[in-house]
């Protein structure tokens, strides 16, 4: 007994003496996500008593502002979350650690990871991050509104013309006061995710060229895709305008005024709070088949990290089956490991929808582009497109302006 106590004391002493390495993991998200990450960090600390992990969570806007100041000031978080489209903005500025030497020592960790999620962080000269989780876009629909209108639910045989026709039928003035109070669909029309990027791909067009020097959204194929969007929004008025939407918050589906909307898995926890019944379906078929967009969030390690080895150990753990299983429970995203994405941890979540639909979407998914200056390009294109949806510009003029402004943004970031 005495011996045991002494051993325990010695062990405690040893572990406390060893817990001399502290690393910080910063991410954007809600306090609830921060709590899950603290749990993952605690599980990691049990396996690695010599490393302590501080989890710092902030909302999206403050996260990026704070991160820029911290990295510029030479005191970055050791590990931080990265949104794949913004990855090139950071990697090209030489502030991220190349993880390839670590991965080469342990190549098996990449086994069973969806390959498309690895693509964003591999520059060819190195691997500057690992995916943490990913998002594909699906169609969400309000079953109560479909039932009330006596319409069949969306199927995987749906085309974009079916979407348009159904959205029009679901756009109603229910109280007869002369203004629409239920819309068939909703979208912000700004960023390519969730809607118009996938639409352009399904019509055989593309968004930017592979070298990210040219904006391609005014090609004949892309114009045809935008024409459908234009018809739905401005001709059929099946979508609330920006001003109408602002009355209900920014998510028309969540606020129960739009029968359909497109979004990623990130909406599931929020949508499970609503009182109406809803389900998900694959994105409709375009003239060139089905398409969706895939985007990942990842881990990167700061080049200026004082403890890169400890940082890597944490990334490796969070990237492992154990870390990914815990992460799947947040319900916000899809695990990057096949073994976890096909396990009950992901498939049997509290919200009873077909979660495998999001994983199957990988078969026809395009990677949301990753290039330096993505945010500036996206703002330039989004501002121009917005003039179409507000009625200031014709579709042709708006697309031409989007290409001109988008190309200018791309040139500035070369």
Partner 1 sequence: MLAFLLPTLLGLILGTFGSIFATIGISLTDWDLLTPAIPAGISNYTDLPADRLFMKSLVNTLAFSALYVPLTIVVSLAVAMGMNRKLWGIGAFRVAYFLPTVSSPTAVGLLWTWIYAEDHGTLNAIITAMGGNPVSWLGPKMALYSVVAVNVWGAIGGGMIIFLAGLQAIPRDYYEVAKLDGATAWQRLRYVTLPALAPSIFFQAVLTTINAFQAFDYIYILTRIGNGNSTMPTLVFSIYRTGFRFFRMGDAAAQAVVLTAIIFVMTAVYFHLQKRWGEPA
Residue 256 · residue 271 · CB < 8 Å: no
The C-alpha atoms of residue 259 and residue 239 are separated, in whole angstroms, by 10
Query: With contact defined as beta carbons under 8 Å apart, do 194 and 264 qualify?
Result: yes
Which of 85, 129, 131, 382 is close enough to bind partner 1 by CB under 8 A? 382
Tell me which of 2, 125, 175, 247 binds partner 1, using CB under 8 A.
247
Of 50, 144, 162, 181, the residue at the interface with partner 1 (CB under 8 A) is 181
Which residue lies nearer to partner 1 by CB, 267 or 349? 267
Helix axes 321-328, 31-47, angle to 10 degrees: 160
Q: Which is nearer to partner 1, 121 or 314 (CB)?
A: 121
CA gap 369, 89 in Å, rounded: 12
Instruction: List the one residue from 34, 64, 161, 227 that touches partner 1 (CB under 8 A).
Output: 64
How many whole angstroms from its chain centre is CA 261?
A: 16
Nearer to partner 1, 111 or 177 (CB): 177
Q: Is 397 in the site for partner 1 (CB under 8 A)?
A: no
Q: In the complex with partner 1, which residue's Cβ is closer, 279 or 376?
A: 376
- Containing 71, the helix (H) or strand (E) segment is helix 60-72
- Counting contacts by CB under 8 A, is residue 379 touching partner 1? yes
Binding window for partner 1 (CB under 8 A); candidates: 142-150, 156-164, 311-319, 389-397: 389-397
Contact letters for partner 1, residues 133-172 (x by CB under 8 A): ----------------------------------------
Judging by beta carbons within 10 Å of its beta carbon (0-12, 13-18, 19+), is residue 369 exposed, middle or buried?
A: buried
Task: Please report the sign of the dihedral spanned by the C-alpha atoms of residue 143, residue 149, residue 152, residue 155.
Answer: negative
H helix runs in 160-302, sequence order? 160-169, 196-202, 220-230, 242-246, 268-271
From the list 18-26, 164-172, 173-181, 357-365, the region that binds partner 1 by CB under 8 A is 173-181
Q: Note the residues at the interface with partner 1 (CB under 8 A).
A: 61, 64-65, 68, 71-72, 89-90, 93-95, 179-181, 188, 190-191, 241-244, 246-247, 250, 373, 375-376, 378-380, 382-383, 386-387, 390-392, 404-405, 408, 412
């Amino acid at each position: 007994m005495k011996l045991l106590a002494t051993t325990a004391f010695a062990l405690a002493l040893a572990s406390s003496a060893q817990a001399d390495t502290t690393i910080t993991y910063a991410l954007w998200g809600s306090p609830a996500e921060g709590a899950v990450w603290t749990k993952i960090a605690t599980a990691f600390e049990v396996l690695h008593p010599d490393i302590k992990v501080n989890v710092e969570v902030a909302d999206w806007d403050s996260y990026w502002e704070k991160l820029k100041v911290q990295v510029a000031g030479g005191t970055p978080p050791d590990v931080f979350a990265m949104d794949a489209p913004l990855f090139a903005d950071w990697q090209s500025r030489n502030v991220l650690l190349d993880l390839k030497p670590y991965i080469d020592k342990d190549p098996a960790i990449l086994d069973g990871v969806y390959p498309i999620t690895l693509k964003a962080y591999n520059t060819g000269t190195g691997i500057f991050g690992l995916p943490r989780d990913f998002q594909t876009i699906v169609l969400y629909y309000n079953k109560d509104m479909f039932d009330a209108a006596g319409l069949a639910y969306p199927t995987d045989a749906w085309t974009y013309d079916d979407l348009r026709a159904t959205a029009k039928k679901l756009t109603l003035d229910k109280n007869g006061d002369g203004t629409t109070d239920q819309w068939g669909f909703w979208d912000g029309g700004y960023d390519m995710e969730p809607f118009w990027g996938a639409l352009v791909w399904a019509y055989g067009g593309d968004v930017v060229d592979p070298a990210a020097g040219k904006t391609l959204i005014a090609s004949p194929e892309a114009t045809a895709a935008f024409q459908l969007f234009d018809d739905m929004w401005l001709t059929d008025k099946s979508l609330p305008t920006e001003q109408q939407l602002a009355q209900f918050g920014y998510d028309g589906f969540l606020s129960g005024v739009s029968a359909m909307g497109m979004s990623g898995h990130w909406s599931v926890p929020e949508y499970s709070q609503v009182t109406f019944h809803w389900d998900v379906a694959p994105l409709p078929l375009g003239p060139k088949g089905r398409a969706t967009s895939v985007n990942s969030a990842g881990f990167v390690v700061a080049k200026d990290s004082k403890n890169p080895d400890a940082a890597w150990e944490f990334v490796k753990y969070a990237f492992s089956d154990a870390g990914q299983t815990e992460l799947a429970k947040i319900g916000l995203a899809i695990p990057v490991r096949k073994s976890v994405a096909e396990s009950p941890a992901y498939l049997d979540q509290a919200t009873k929808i077909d979660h495998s639909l999001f994983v199957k979407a990988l078969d026809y998914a395009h990677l949301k582009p990753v290039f330096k200056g993505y945010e500036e390009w996206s703002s330039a294109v989004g501002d121009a497109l917005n003039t179409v949806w507000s009625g200031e510009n014709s579709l042709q003029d708006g697309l031409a302006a989007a290409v001109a402004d988008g190309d200018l943004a791309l040139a500035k970031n070369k």
